[in-house]
């Protein structure tokens, strides 16, 4: 009887010790811990390991140490882009509540009401920039800048299909290097609305004007050259 009691005590003690060891394990042992509801949670290690950075607002430029991400929203989609400030193209979308290791080349992230809105929308263009898109109405690959560009490179020359201007200037688009285009045409002969996007405005480029969107410069209202 005394032996049985001793054996039972040893078993109970072992189970108590095992239980204490189990509950002493950190919550992050299985990954993806510490993510606030409604946030995009960026982890410094793969598989949700490490202390996350929680962001309920868009992430304009990811750190190179961000190796995994969790979408803490229950209704919004995560959108991952190949350039800062949602530029370039969509590298991956992240369903509500899901997790992933960050694909190579990811530079910015944001939440959107639907998966489709990761790929479209002039709202991707942040304040102070002019943004050009390869699709109509703010769709497709995007490039945004705060500076004038004398000549677009081969990936954008003739490929601009829509524009939004969120700078403080009007933006004048030209058919080539604006420093070497030769004698400018008579301003009175130009269609101002066709080639100048006023501040705060967006436009889908008409089919006949694709080759005119090869460079841009900032101008004051109604100044053409």
CATH number for the domain spanning 211: value is 2.60.20.10
The predicted-structure confidence for 58-101, as pLDDT tens digits, reads as follows 777 776 578 899 999 999 999 999 888 888 888 899 999 999 99
One domain, residues 136 and 179: yes
One domain, residues 40 and 76: yes
Domain-embedded: residue 203: yes
The residues that bridge with 215 in the sheet, in sequence order, are 174
One domain, residues 52 and 97: yes
Domain-embedded: residue 44: yes
One domain, residues 109 and 61: yes
Domain-embedded: residue 6: no
Mean pLDDT of the chain: 79
Domain-embedded: residue 25: no
The per-residue pLDDT for 165 is 96
One domain, residues 196 and 160: yes
Domain-embedded: residue 55: yes
Structure-token match 């304040």, residue found? 127
Domain-embedded: residue 11: no
Express as a percent the part of the chain with pLDDT over 70. Answer: 76
One domain, residues 131 and 195: yes
The per-residue pLDDT for 120 is 77
The per-residue pLDDT for 221 is 57
Domain boundary among 90, 118, 146: 118
* DSSP element (H, E) containing 171: strand 170-174
Output the CA–CA distances (angstroms, integers) from residue 29 to 22, 100, 158, in the order listed: 11, 17, 51
Contact 173, 216 (CB under 8 A): yes
Q: Of the ranges 120-124, 154-158, 191-195, which one carries the lowest mean pLDDT score?
A: 191-195
pLDDT range class, residue 9, cuts 50, 70, 90 = very low
Q: How far, in whole angstroms, is CA 67 from its chain's centroid?
A: 16
Given a cut of 70, whether residue 5 has pLDDT beyond it is: no
The mean pLDDT of 9-15, rounded to a whole number, is 44
Tally of domains within the chain = 2
Tokens of 135: 């699709």
Q: Of the ranges 29-43, 95-109, 172-186, 203-217, which one carries the lowest mean pLDDT score?
A: 172-186
Given a cut of 50, whether residue 16 has pLDDT beyond it is: no
Domain-embedded: residue 10: no
The per-residue pLDDT for 98 is 96
One domain, residues 112 and 129: no
The per-residue pLDDT for 20 is 35
One domain, residues 133 and 204: yes
Whole-prediction pTM: 0.64
One domain, residues 108 and 135: no
One domain, residues 129 and 112: no
Domain boundary among 96, 118, 140: 118
One domain, residues 143 and 199: yes
Express as a percent the part of the chain with pLDDT over 90. Answer: 36
One domain, residues 106 and 132: no
Structural domain containing residue 50 = 30-118
Domain-embedded: residue 34: yes
Rounded CA separation 26/202 (Å): 51
Domain boundary among 103, 118, 133: 118
The predicted-structure confidence for 47-56, as pLDDT tens digits, reads as follows 999 999 888 7
The mean pLDDT of 184-192, rounded to a whole number, is 48
């Amino acid at each position: 009887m005394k032996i049985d009691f001793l054996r039972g005590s040893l078993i109970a003690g072992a189970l108590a010790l095992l239980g204490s060891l189990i509950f002493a394990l950190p919550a992050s042992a299985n990954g993806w811990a510490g993510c606030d509801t409604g946030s995009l949670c960026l982890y410094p290690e793969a598989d949700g390991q490490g202390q996350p950075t929680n962001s309920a607002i868009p992430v304009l430029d990811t750190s190179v140490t961000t190796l995994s991400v969790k979408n803490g929203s229950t209704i919004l989609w995560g959108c991952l882009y190949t350039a800062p400030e949602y530029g370039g193209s969509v590298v991956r979308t992240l369903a509500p509540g899901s997790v992933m290791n960050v694909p190579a080349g990811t530079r910015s992230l944001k939440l959107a009401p639907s998966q489709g809105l990761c790929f479209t929308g002039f709202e991707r263009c942040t304040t102070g920039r002019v943004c050009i898109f390869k699709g109509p109405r703010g769709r497709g690959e995007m490039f945004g800048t705060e500076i004038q560009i004398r000549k677009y490179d081969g990936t954008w020359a003739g490929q601009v299909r829509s524009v939004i201007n969120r700078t403080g200037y009007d933006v004048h688009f030209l058919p080539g290097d604006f420093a070497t285009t030769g004698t400018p045409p008579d301003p009175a002969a130009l269609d101002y609305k066709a080639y100048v996007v006023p501040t705060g405005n967006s436009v889908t480029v008409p089919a006949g004007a694709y080759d005119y969107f090869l460079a841009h410069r900032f101008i004051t209202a109604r100044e053409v050259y």
